[in-house]
Amino acid sequence: MTHITSKYILSRLGYAAYNSALIWSENRAIYITGLRVESEDPMILGHESSGIVHSVGKEVESLKPGDRVAVEPGFPCRRCVYCKSGNYALCPRLTFAATPPVDGTLQKYYLAPEDFCYKLPDHVTFEEGALIEPLSVGVEICKRGNVKGGDVVVIFGAGPIGLVVAAVARAYGARKIISVDLVSSKLEYAKRFGGAEVFVPGKGTSEETAKQIIEKFSLGDGADVAIDATGAEACIQTGIYVLKRAGRFVQAGMGKEMISFPITTLISKGIVLVGSFRYSEGCYRESLRLVSDGIVDLKMMITHRFSFKEAVKAFETVKDGNDVLKVMISGLE
């Protein structure tokens, strides 16, 4: 067993969830949310997790063995300017679970700092605890886009991130949420989970698609916020065209490094464009509040369940399957 230094806890993981963006490939490359990462050595996957505290270091004050926790999977240096400003996802010394060379959480025991473990209320399940991770990504995206009451929000992509963004935007009072995806079965989730209206783009140009969205949903000048959770060039372009003047655009999906981009439109409309990466100070607590208060129902995202011993089957299901959203793997007994 790992030696426990002060302020660290050892968590026996109850559940971990994985989505299609995380695949351990045969050529030893790892795909993390669309970004290809090379790794020389095999690595343990998993970054969406919850568990039971097994033991605690002598300086740990807020948790004790037996407590149920959600585990935030990235540990920053706490000393750099990014950490001090709360944007610790930007910390150059951040270590993040299942990002090479750091092993992930799909193991019996996992060592985590006290302040990156969040105690689950009794009525919040381990599965919901694991899904606090992607929900936190949605909270950060809405924070970056300043999503607020009365906004019209257009979200490109109805995968797990697009869905959690819709749910958070709804929780923050957006009056109209439009989810855009080519796959209509995914849009069914956006309706149910995010309370979104939906749009399937046709073969037109990005400008034409934006015009269709504006007309179909009577958006007048355009949307207040556009969020891309795909990384696809056509979606990014459409997102700029669908915004009203002074609208906000958040880039969250990772795709090609270089794209053709309507930058003159961005200038003439005075659009504010920001990137969003993982999460910052407060997002995990906020996500847990949204779930604990019954505002966001994460259980609706779970489509499959496997035991720890069936983990390979779980990944194959993700790789092959349609209608796969979140696949849960239970902890090793």
**Binding segment toward Zn ion, per CB under 5 A, in 44-52, 55-63, 79-87, 152-160:** 79-87
Q: List the Cα angle 243/234/245 in 5-degree steps.
A: 10
Distance CA 10, CA 45 (A): 18
**Binding segment toward Zn ion, per CB under 5 A, in 86-94, 119-127, 190-198, 254-262:** 86-94
Find the shortest distance in angstroms from Cβ 99 to Zn ion. 15
Residue 305: which H helix or E strand, with range?
strand 302-306
Per-residue binding letters, 19-58, with Zn ion (x by CB under 5 A): ----------------------------------------
Tell me which of 37, 77, 200, 295 binds Zn ion, using CB under 5 A: 77
Distance CA 81, CA 254 (A): 25
Q: List the Cα angle 116/119/121 in 5-degree steps.
A: 150
Distance CA 49, CA 71 (A): 6
Closest CB to Zn ion among 91 and 219? Answer: 91
Q: Is 76 among the residues that bind Zn ion (CB under 5 A)?
A: yes
Find the shortest distance in angstroms from Cβ 92 to Zn ion. 7
Distance CA 283, CA 85 (A): 14
Q: Is 74 among the residues that bind Zn ion (CB under 5 A)?
A: no
Strand partners, 147: none
Closest CB to Zn ion among 81 and 267? Answer: 81
Size of the site for Zn ion (CB under 5 A): 5
**Binding segment toward Zn ion, per CB under 5 A, in 75-83, 139-147, 177-185, 272-280:** 75-83
Find the shortest distance in angstroms from Cβ 90 to Zn ion. 8
Q: Is 143 left (phi over 0), alpha (psi -120 to 50) or beta?
A: alpha
Find the shortest distance in angstroms from Cβ 30 to Zn ion. 23
Find the shortest distance in angstroms from Cβ 73 to Zn ion. 16
Q: List the Cα angle 149/252/183 in 5-degree steps.
A: 90
Q: Is 80 among the residues that bind Zn ion (CB under 5 A)?
A: yes
Whole-number CA gyration radius for the chain: 20
CA 39, chain centre distance (Å): 23
**Binding segment toward Zn ion, per CB under 5 A, in 7-15, 68-76, 102-110, 251-259:** 68-76
Residues 6+ apart with CB under 8 A from 246: 269, 270, 271, 272
The single-letter DSSP state of residue 190 is: H
Find the shortest distance in angstroms from Cβ 115 to Zn ion. 14
Closest CB to Zn ion among 82 and 126? Answer: 82
Closest CB to Zn ion among 83 and 124? Answer: 83
Closest CB to Zn ion among 84 and 309? Answer: 84
Distance CA 5, CA 56 (A): 9
Q: Is 83 among the residues that bind Zn ion (CB under 5 A)?
A: yes
Phi/psi of residue 177, each to 5°?
Answer: -125, 125
Binding residues vs Zn ion (CB under 5 A): 76-77, 80, 83, 91
